[in-house]
Amino acid sequence: MRLSFSLLALASTVLGASQFHGLNYNPKRQDGSCPNVYQVQADLKVLRPYTNKLRIYSVKDCNQGEPVLRAMQNTDWKVELGLWVDSNDASYEADKQELIRLAGVFNFTQQVNAVVVGSEAIYRGEQTAEQLASKVGEIKAVLAQLGLQGIPVTSSETWPTYYQPLIDAVDFVNMHGFPFWEGVAIDGAVDRMFEHIHTLQRAANGKKVVVGETGWPSAGDNYGAAVTGVATAQRYLQQFVCRAIAEDIDYYYFNSFDQSWASTNNASNVEGHWGIVLDDYVTPKFSEPIYTCGGSASASASADESAYTSADGPSSAAAGGGTGASGSGSKCRGTIQRRRRRRRFV
């Protein structure tokens, strides 16, 4: 135990904090129970070799904002705090009130990278872009009133549902994209993902576009030409991360831990299998190095353009207008993206 912990510490020191820009995180336990601060601390220790940035989906669900912020206090961890938004504004109001309470307890300036108002609420048909944009505006005003106007406010939405009123309201665009749910074969999956990123970059008119979620499931049913599996999931991860580094795209990879509780969704049996760590909270899913960019070790996080180019093809293909598969206009509106139904608080 002692040995493995010092190895972990060493790895953490050598690799730095940048194997992933950030990770999505739901601290809920595998049986669906709520986490305590010690469990979150243990999770952070396991995740620290990978990143020092997490995003959570709600502060009020399980009252998880408190143990997460507590466990990160006086560390270099940073968090994006999510507010859950659905068709009933009571969820949003409860998260908003809890956000305000937490701002009085913790030093948000130090710990909070962004506030994320809603996750795929438009995609699920629970909000219009205008309703969500108005909530983003309200949270900006709330933060300003607390003297926290320096904290950016955004909303997480799939690329085809990131409509213009929402783009106009956010400080940066936080898009979700899953080529897996488009039934795309792994060979073209990362290209497809970056077509969506570039389309939104054009629509965003200079605002920064961050990938709030992407990933590939390691188990469960295939979806069209998209095949699940550990090797395929690692391949997606590797290609996505290397290209994100090459194009200087910030991203929160989906997901930290496999979540067995999420697989109870019968619409699809892949939901529990997006993690980079298994659902025992400790065992890494992928072989080391989890990715390499252009033949150099992943962890340097310094893959340069030429390394990327030799590994994944000419970058001009990425920088150009894409192949047209994502539509010719600068709007994503109207594009159909076939996807799974998401459970609450994924």
Ligand X SMILES: *[C@@H]1O[C@H](CO)[C@@H](O)[C@H](O)[C@H]1NC(C)=O
List binders of ligand X among 266-305 (CB under 6 A).
266
Least Cβ distance, residue 70 to ligand X (angstroms): 15
Q: Which of residues 109-128 bind ligand X (CB under 6 A)?
A: 109-110
Q: Which amino acid is at 336?
A: I
Stretch that binds ligand X, among 102-110, 128-136, 227-235, 324-332 (CB under 6 A): 102-110
For ligand X, the closer CB: 144 or 185: 144
Smallest distance from the beta carbon of 108 to ligand X, in angstroms?
8
The answer to the question of residue 75 lying near ligand X (CB under 6 A) is no
Number of residues that bind ligand X (CB under 6 A): 4
Identity of the amino acid at 221: D
The token pair at 227 is 């095949």
Binding segment for ligand X (CB under 6 A), chosen from 42-50, 95-103, 106-114, 165-173, is 106-114
- Among 74-82, 107-115, 146-154, 338-346, which window interacts with ligand X (CB under 6 A)? 107-115
Q: Which is nearer to ligand X, 100 or 225 (CB)?
A: 100
The three-state secondary structure class of 333 is coil
Please spell the DSSP secondary structure of 115-157, one letter per residue: EEEEESTTTTTSS-HHHHHHHHHHHHHHHHHTT-TTS-EEEEE
Nearer to ligand X, 111 or 155 (CB): 111
Q: Which of 249, 253, 250, 247 is nearest to 291 (CA)?
A: 253
Question: How many Å apart are CA 256 and CA 235, to the nearest integer?
Answer: 17
Q: Quick one: CA dihedral 248, 159, 134, 53, positive or negative?
A: negative
Q: Which is nearer to ligand X, 320 or 341 (CB)?
A: 341
Q: Whole-angstrom Cα distance, residue 151 to residue 114?
A: 6
Least Cβ distance, residue 111 to ligand X (angstroms): 8
Which one of 103-111, 179-187, 225-233, 309-317 is the stretch in contact with ligand X (CB under 6 A)?
Answer: 103-111
Residue 151 vs 167, nearer CB to ligand X: 151
107 binds ligand X (CB under 6 A): yes
By C-beta, is 36 or 269 nearer to ligand X?
269
- Convert 84-112 to b/e letters by CB count within 10 Å (16 or more is b): bbeeeeebbebbbebbeebbeebebeebb
On whether the CB atoms of residues 84 and 57 are closer than 8 A, the answer is yes
Residues lying near ligand X in the complex (CB under 6 A): 107, 109-110, 266
